[in-house]
Amino acid sequence: FHPEACGGPTDTSFLFTYFINAVVNPTALPVTTVPYRLPSPVKKVLVLGSGGLSIGQAGEFDYSGSQCIKALKESNIMSVLINPNIATVQTSKGLADKVYFLPVTPEFVTSVIEIEKPDGLFCTFGGQTALNCAVALHDAGVLKKHN
């Protein structure tokens, strides 16, 4: 098997002809517009932290979560953080708009969702704890109920 013997798939070679025609004679192609509805803007996002950690472990979750919160702030999106660990950068004063020092469990997250009514949920910045919690919320129908 020699991959260099075949330059790639040939079932889309007709697209090259369209491209050449568009470059040579750009006015010959019809213009088609597709109606598009802009999504409603996100105003508030719930960020799940990684929960209780051992000293010196899982610092990457704290870093990525704090970067997430900074990006939300730059985008003028309110961030609500759930993280029981008071010794993290995420929970520093002034970083997140609102912080709940609660365990990252389906029960506590559900109660915060009911209070805050966020437009979205970020579970990818809290490691396995946050991912497991989000799956449990989905399976229990909580996310669909509060969509």
In the chain, domain spans:
44-145
Average pLDDT over residues 58-62: 73
Q: Mean pLDDT across the stretch 15-28?
A: 84
Q: Are 53 and 132 in contact (CB under 8 A)?
A: no
Class for domain 44-145, per CATH? alpha beta
What's the whole-model pTM score? 0.69
Q: DSSP 3-state assignment of 100?
A: strand
Instruction: Using the Cα atoms of residue 5, residue 7, residue 11 and residue 13 in order, give the sign of their dihedral.
Output: negative
Query: How much is the pLDDT for 41?
Result: 87
Q: Which of 19-28, 47-56, 135-144 has the least mean pLDDT? A: 47-56
11 vs 128, more confident: 128
Average pLDDT over residues 46-73: 81
pLDDT of residue 136: 96
Q: Would you say 48 and 104 are in contact if contact means Cβ atoms under 8 Å apart?
A: yes
